[in-house]
Amino acid sequence: MLITRLRGWDKPGRAVTSENAFFSRRSAMGAFAAAGAVAGLGVAGIRPASAADETASIPASAMRFDPGRPLTPSNVAETYNNFYEFSTDKDLWQMAQAFPQRPWSITFDGMVEKPFTIGLDDLLKQVQIEERVYRHRCVEAWAMTVPWSGFPLAKLVALAKPTSSAKYMIFTSDEDPKVMPGLGGFMPWPYLEGLTIAEASNELAFIATGLYGKPMPPQNGGPIRLVVPWKYGFKSGKSIVKVSFSDKQPDTFWAQLSPDEYGFWANVNPAVPHPRWSQAQERLIGTDQIVATQIYNGYGEWVSSLYAGMPQTRKLFM
């Protein structure tokens, strides 16, 4: 059954180091990050900073995939969020501060050599943290450019040891009704998203544990989230508690709600409109500048080969 209930985004068309060393390295914001970590990410997880200051603290290695546009100020990106488990409003960041970030563990199951659960801090000891600046494009036609810190998703695939028959990687987000007032109603919680193993193994696919040089704020998907910059933002599951492997394409969250509007692939394409608004342009939050949308969000050089031989139909871009 197609659900057409109005939702928050249904508006008119409009050098590698350990994680601890990485976060302490960022002198421009280190004091705040330390205070936030001690206090469980503190009161708000927001601090004033100019885009110029934040850009100056970004290492050159983070610009490997040059976004071609200025960084979004942190106080904008951290206060304009989609996280429906809390609210459909964009200013949900305050209520998200009650969401606990530790202890945190992730379960790996399905088509793996041996299912297991691992604590996040133990997981982070097995990877090297790096920073990457990516464009982020929402299906609502707004966009931002932010510095994520974390590690390649391919490292998580290797850690999980999926069987040769596994074709898909499925990400389940946390659902905690004690601190997530948006749970319930008609939505098919928990939030579930997925990628093919080939997509998950692509060099752009990323697991983020930090933002702007500090631990990931809860409203942005802390303490650990997926980042898939060539796809619409709803594909990048937040606050991940389970990673599963399967030989069957998963029935993902938004595809369950409205399959004619939100599909499994969700690759950015300016020529394929949403049924109710154009995707040809996007609004940069913080400045409200309108710019042209790019195919695969500008990352086609790295990802278009993933879809070679596939029918280039609307299904691939919704």
pLDDT at 9 over 80: no
How is residue 246 written in tokens?
A: 């399967």
pLDDT at 2 over 90: no
Burial level of 79, CB count in 10 A (0-12/13-18/19+)? buried
| Distance between CA atoms of residues 230 and 239, nearest Å | 20
Residues 164-195 have pLDDT tens digits of: 999 999 999 999 999 999 999 999 999 999 99
Residues 127-176 have pLDDT tens digits of: 999 999 999 999 999 999 999 999 999 999 999 999 999 999 999 999 99
Q: Residue 22 phi/psi, 5° resolution?
A: -60, -50
Domains, the chain, in order of start with CATH, read 19-317 (3.90.420.10)
Taking the CA atoms of 170, 92, 20 and 133 in sequence, report the sign of the dihedral they define: positive
Q: Is residue 53 classed as helix, strand or coil in its secondary structure?
A: helix
Q: How high is the pLDDT of residue 307? A: 98
Phi-psi region of 266 (alpha: psi -120 to 50; beta: other; left: phi over 0): left
* Mean model confidence pLDDT for the chain: 87
Q: Which residues pair with 246 in a beta bridge?
A: 168
Q: Do strands 116-119 and 105-110 pair parallel, antiparallel, or not at all (unpaired)?
A: antiparallel
Read off the pLDDT band of 57 (50, 70, 90).
confident
Average pLDDT over residues 256-284: 97
